[in-house]
Amino acid sequence: MQKLPRAVRRLIEKFERLPGIGPKSAQRLVFYLLHNPDHELEDFAERLIALKKETVTCEICHNVSESNPCSICTDSSRDKNVLCVVEQPLDLLALERSEQFKGLYHVLHGSISPLNNIGPDQIFLKDLLGRLDGVEELIVATNPTMEGEATALYISELITNRLGDNSPRITRIGHGLPVGADIEYADGVTLARALEGRRKI
Amino acid sequence: MQKLPRAVRRLIEKFERLPGIGPKSAQRLVFYLLHNPDHELEDFAERLIALKKETVTCEICHNVSESNPCSICTDSSRDKNVLCVVEQPLDLLALERSEQFKGLYHVLHGSISPLNNIGPDQIFLKDLLGRLDGVEELIVATNPTMEGEATALYISELITNRLGDNSPRITRIGHGLPVGADIEYADGVTLARALEGRRKI
């Protein structure tokens, strides 16, 4: 049987390892790239190498950034009394897009997930405690998944146990129906949360 | 609003241009790569550059290969009297996997598609005529799409016009229900083709 050239196979292997890309998609991507000019591939390769060389993790909030500390942590116009905990840098970005939150962030880079051997020590949780001095509210914006909920609960208990009366107000982002959704098609858990979170109009 | 670091944005742009990868997937892929160690990214980059450097297009059949002519064209055990025309190298690979075809191939690298400004001169069609000397059968295995059918028809007419009585037998791969399919869910055109292509049992 005719086999693919080695260089093609080796690149397919790399693409296959990316999340959400199966063997068929990887093949298609590599054959697409084969039709690209040489300089396009070199440019792609350069950008891959630059990805980690030109980015740092902010040592305060752990966001991915060009500078350390990052532009949010050093922005004097932001409210230092409110801290928002998120799982991933992309979550931070989504919250920034909403243009509603003017405080600071703390990026965990994951959530507690015993099934995947990820405990509190495998995420950036430890130094969160050291950041709470003077903070009035801590918004826990982890995902509304099992892992995200467990992480939120863990954070809340950890802080209350350690800081006692000095703990900031700990809140969880609201759960319920997303804007534009259909009640008819909403799942039961979401509806239950939406009812729990009801507000006076 | 917080913007992504330049290196991250630039790599997202590259991934976005790949077929089937939208802005959201591109973001996810790049943030996944951010968690990879440096040497993994360098390896990925090297493989990208090697892709075109270590592969050639066979000057006979235009398949992507490590050698020129490719291993199929130089394989003396293959039947030189039968030629199979396919659109893409991946089609050739799929046919090889079936282990049914022992002849030679001709890869067009596309199909005639006036809507996308691809005419007969934009695909490797011209030198197909020069390969027909002594060929008994030409199997046209272009895709059963509008473009694939148009290409098949064009090839058939081109050869009959040019070679007249010297043309090889020109055949089209069979159309019908794929193995394992449900007649209940088959579309009308496929069923019509399946009826046309019925065989005595």
Whether the predicted pLDDT of B2 surpasses 80: no
Interval A105-145: pLDDT, tens: 999 999 999 999 999 999 999 999 999 999 999 999 999 99
SS3 B137: strand
Which pLDDT score is estimated for B89? 92
Yes or no, beta carbons of B51 and A34 under 8 Å apart = yes
Rounded mean pLDDT, A32-59: 93
Domain B1-36 classified CATH 1.10.8.420?
yes
The closest of A9, A98, A109 to B93, measured between CA atoms, is A9
- Give per-residue pLDDT as tens, A173-186: 988 888 888 888 88
Q: Which residues lie closer than 8 Å to B87 by C-beta, 6 or more apart?
A: B107, B108, B109, B110, B111, B142, B143, B148, B151
Q: Tell me the pLDDT tens digit for each residue of A80-101.
A: 999 999 999 999 998 998 888 9
CA B185 centroid distance within chain: 27
pLDDT at B79: 94
3-state secondary structure of A149: helix
- Chain B residue with CA closest to A3: the answer is B93
pTM higher than the cut 0.90: no
Q: Kindly list the domain boundaries of chain B, sorted by start residue.
A: 1-36, 80-195
| Residue in B42, B47, B71 nearest the CB of A11 | B47
pLDDT of residue A169: 94
The shortest CB-CB distance from B66 to any of A6, A38, A47 is to: A6
- The CATH number that domain B80-195 falls under is 3.40.1360.10
Q: What is the ipTM of this complex?
A: 0.80
Query: Two tokens at A29?
Result: 């991507």
pLDDT band with cut points at 50, 70 and 90 for residue B11: very high
Enter the tokens of residue A195. 């009812």
CB atoms within 10 A of CB B37: 9
pLDDT at B198: 83
Confirm or reject CATH 3.30.43.10 for domain A82-174+187-195, answering yes or no: no
Provide the pLDDT confidence category of residue B188 given band limits of 50, 70 and 90: confident
Band (B154; pLDDT cuts 50, 70, 90): very high
Q: What average pLDDT score do residues B32-61 get?
A: 93
Predicted local confidence at residue A1, as pLDDT: 44
Q: What is the pLDDT, as a whole number, of residue B1?
A: 44
Write out pLDDT tens, residues B68-116: 999 999 999 999 999 999 999 999 998 998 888 999 999 999 999 999 9
Closest Cβ–Cβ partner in A18, A35, A97 for B1: A97
Q: Which of A21, A43, A44 to probe by mutation at the B interface, max B CB count within 10 Å? A: A44
Kindly report the nearest CA distance between residue A72 and chain B, in angstroms. Answer: 7
